[in-house]
Amino acid sequence: MSLIDTYRAYRARPKAIRRTDLASQWQLMWWRFRKHRMAMLGMILLGLFGVCVLFPEPISPYAPFERNSKYVAGAPMMPHFFEADGTFHPRPFVYGVKSERDPVTLKLRHTRDETKIWEIAFFVKGDPYHLFGLIPLDIHLFGTREGFIHLFGTDFTGLDIFSRTIHACRVSLSVGLVGVLVSFVLGAAIGGAAGYFGGQFDNIVMRIIEFIRSIPTLPLWLALAAALPRDWGPLPTYLAVTAILALLGWTWLARTVRSKLLATRHEDFVLAAKLSGCSDSRIIRRHLLPSFMSYLIVDTSIAFPEILLAETSLSFLGLGLREPVESWGVLLYAAQSIRSVDQAPWLMIPGLFVIVAVLAFNFLGDGLRDAADPYSK
Partner 1 sequence: MAEARDNVLDVETLSIALRQDDATVPIVEDISFSLARGEVLALVGESGSGKSLTALSLMQLLSKELAITKGRILLHAADGGVTDIVGLGANGRAIEAIRGRRMGMIFQEPMSSFSPIHTIGAQIAEVAMIHEKVTREEARRRAAELLAKVGIPDPVRALDRYPQEFSGGMRQRAMIARALICGPGLLIADEPTTALDVTIQSQILDLMRKLKNELGMAILFITHDLGIVAQMADRVAIMYSGRIVESGPVRDIFRRPVHPYTRALLEAVPRLGDIDRHRKIRPIAGSIPNIFDVPQGCRFHPRCPAAQLPRCAEAPPPRYDAGRHHVSCIHGAEELGR
Partner 2 sequence: MITFFARRFAYMVITLLLVSVVSFAIVQSAPGDYAEIYAARKANAGAIISQAEIENVRRQLGLDKPWHIQYGRWIGNIVLHNDWGMSWEWKRPVGEVIWERMPLTLAIAFSTLIFMYVVSIPVGIYSAVHRYSIGDHTVSLLGYIGLATPNFLLALVLMYLSQRYFGQSVGGLFSPAYENAPWSWGKFKDLLAHLAVPVIVLGTGGTAFLIRAMRAAVLDELNKMYVLSAKASGLSPLKLLIRYPVRMALNPIAATLGWRLTYVISGAPIVGFVLALPDTGPLFLHSLLNQDMLLAGAMIFIYCALTIIGTLLSDLLLVALDPRIKLE
The entry of partner 2, partner 1, none near residue 43 (CB within 5 to 8 angstroms by kind) is none
The entry of partner 2, partner 1, none near residue 336 (CB within 5 to 8 angstroms by kind) is partner 2
Is 8 or 213 the residue whose CB approaches partner 1 more closely?
Answer: 8
Residue 289 touching partner 2 (CB under 8 A): no
Residue 226 touching partner 2 (CB under 8 A): yes
Minimum Å distance from CB 163 to partner 1?
A: 49
Burial 294-306 (b: 16+ CB within 10 A, else e): bbbbbbbbbbbbb
The entry of partner 2, partner 1, none near residue 277 (CB within 5 to 8 angstroms by kind) is none
The entry of partner 1, partner 2, none near residue 124 (CB within 5 to 8 angstroms by kind) is none
Q: Which of 164, 186, 135 is nearest to 66 (CA)?
A: 164
Is 214 or 276 the residue whose CB approaches partner 2 more closely?
Answer: 214
d(C-alpha 290, C-alpha 282), whole Å:
11
Residue 6 touching partner 1 (CB under 8 A): yes
Is 12 or 134 the residue whose CB approaches partner 1 more closely?
Answer: 12
Q: Which of 211, 236, 243, 282 binds partner 2 (CB under 8 A)?
A: 211
Decide if 83 contacts 117 (C-beta within 8 A).
Answer: yes
Residue 156 touching partner 2 (CB under 8 A): no
Residue 338 touching partner 1 (CB under 8 A): no
Query: In the stretch 11-50, what mask flags binding to partner 1 with x, by CB under 8 A?
Result: -xxx------------------------------------
Minimum Å distance from CB 30 to partner 1?
A: 24
Is 15 or 230 the residue whose CB approaches partner 1 more closely?
Answer: 15
Minimum Å distance from CB 230 to partner 2?
A: 8
Is 18 or 282 the residue whose CB approaches partner 1 more closely?
Answer: 18
Minimum Å distance from CB 117 to partner 2?
A: 30
The entry of partner 2, partner 1, none near residue 5 (CB within 5 to 8 angstroms by kind) is partner 1
The entry of partner 1, partner 2, none near residue 363 (CB within 5 to 8 angstroms by kind) is partner 2
| Among the residue ranges 44-52, 90-98, 214-222, 263-271, the one whose residues contact partner 2 (CB under 8 A) | 214-222
The entry of partner 2, partner 1, none near residue 309 (CB within 5 to 8 angstroms by kind) is partner 2
Residue 10 touching partner 1 (CB under 8 A): yes
Return the HEC string of the chain. CHHHHHHHHHHCCCCCCCHHHHCCHHHHHHHHHHHCHHHHHHHHHHHHHHHHHHCHHHHCCCCCCCECCCCCCCCCCCCEEECCCCCEEEEEEEEEEEEEECCCCCCEEEEEEEEEEEEEEEEEEEEEEEECCCEEEEEEEEEECCCCCCCCCECCCCEEHHHHHHHHHHHHHHHHHHHHHHHHHHHHHHHHHHHHHCHHHHHHHHHHHHHHHHCCHHHHHHHHHHCCCCCCCHHHHHHHHHHHHHHHHHHHHHHHHHHHHHHHHCCHHHHHHHHCCCCHHHHHHHHHHHHHHHHHHHHHHHHHHHHHHHHHHHHHHCCCCCCCCCCHHHHHHHHCCHHHHHHCHHHHHHHHHHHHHHHHHHHHHHHHHHHHCCCCC
Q: Which of 5, 268, 280, 342 binds partner 2 (CB under 8 A)?
A: 342
Mutual angle of helices 37-54 and 349-372, in 10-degree steps: 130
Q: For CA atoms 254, 260, 263, 268, give the dihedral sign.
A: negative
Binding site for partner 2 (CB under 8 A): 1, 3, 211, 213-220, 222-224, 226-227, 229, 305, 309, 312-313, 316-319, 332, 335-336, 338, 341-342, 345, 348, 351, 354-356, 358-359, 362-363
Residues that bind partner 1 (CB under 8 A): 1-3, 5-7, 9-10, 12-14
